[in-house]
Amino acid sequence: MSTWAIGDLQGCYDVTQRLLERIRFDPAVDRLWFCGDLVNRGGQSIETLRLVYSLREVSHVVLGNHDLSLLAIGERSPEDQRKVNADLQGVLFAEDAPVLLAWLRKQKLAHVDRELGWMMVHAGLAPKWTTQLAERHAREIETRLQGDNYRKLLRNMYGDGPDWSPHLTGPERDRAIINTFTRMRYCSPRGRIAFEHKGEPGSQPPGLYPWFSVPGRAQRDLKVVCGHWSSLGLFVGQGVHAIDTGAVWSGKLTALQLDAETLHVVQVPGRDVAAPTPRQRPPKPHRNQQDQRRRDGRDKPREKAPEKVPTPEKAPE
């Protein structure tokens, strides 16, 4: 019996099948951990989702930002759903979409196996979160997502703020937890996520750190396996195994054996499509900077425009 963690699939069905063949996956004895972002951009999202669903009895899945975006879009009108890309429309208008989306909504933000010694998340953890705290915060969101008011959670989850604080409540707390688990790459020592920076380590400005190397971070009693950060590539260090290796952008799809005595990684070539050139978003001024500008008369408050919900192509990264 082997337990394998697999990086972001992103709708790459053929690639996923090749990897399962390469690791000689046997559902009778083996187990799979999927690091999230099962769908979007790969062109075969419905086939990929059906495959993972068919393996639900022998696998664990954590939700990624693209999975949550799909769930949110699934609650919109058919007219709005037709505005998204063809890959996601293939899921939304499939005959078995209600079954697949209901199952996806029941997946976790963090999966823990203390006997095996591993925690799986999609993106990362806040600097001060122990594995116990992370698991507790994940359960908060999972309970809401699986409850009667899940539509409210999905409507309110978009946005880059606020920064995480244990004193947050309501939708802002939910959003901060979701952003940490599904969008984290770089952050400050106080845990402020730098959403605009997505490149490899060394490309970020001073004062920002990969989430797993922030000074003063909590000591963790489990190894962490994650995906999300394709420009990081395969990374093993500081108790973290990052395995999103860009399968959807002509990189590789990676499997990591979690119960091996030594590091055991298996990879297959990804989709033959070049990655788009990343566009850096200018950093948003911190709230204190905004307040100072207003006091100085340089930035007059403007009436807030209605918030636009991102399309899946522009889903929060």
- Taking a C-beta distance cutoff of 8 angstroms, is the pair 187, 144 a contact? no
User: Residue 300 pLDDT > 80, yes or no?
Assistant: no
Please write the tens of the pLDDT for every residue from 80-104. Answer: 999 999 999 999 999 999 999 999 9
Distance CA(67)–CA(71), nearest Å, equals 6
Share of the chain above pLDDT 90, in %: 85
The 10s digit of each residue's pLDDT in 233-271 is: 999 999 999 999 999 999 999 999 999 999 999 999 999
What residue type is assigned to position 156 of the chain? N
Instruction: Give Cα 201 to chain centroid, integer Å.
Output: 19
Chain centroid to CA 294: 35
Coil, helix or strand at residue 312: helix
Listed residue (131, 125, 121) closest to 67, CA to CA: 121
pLDDT-derived band at 316, boundaries 50, 70, 90: confident
Distance CA 304, CA 288 (A): 19
Q: Which residues contact 81 (CB under 8 A, 6 or more apart)?
A: 73, 74, 89, 92, 93
Domains of the chain by start residue, with CATH:
3-314 (3.60.21.10)
Q: Which pLDDT band, with edges at 50, 70 and 90, does 317 fall under?
A: confident
Say yes or no to pLDDT of 281 above 60: no
* pLDDT tens-digit readout, 193-239: 999 999 999 999 999 999 999 999 999 999 999 999 999 999 999 99
The mean pLDDT of the chain is 90
Give the pLDDT score at 272. Answer: 84
CA angle 127, 132, 137 (to 5 degrees): 75
Angstrom distance (rounded) from CA 235 to CA 225:
10
- Residue 312: the pLDDT is 40
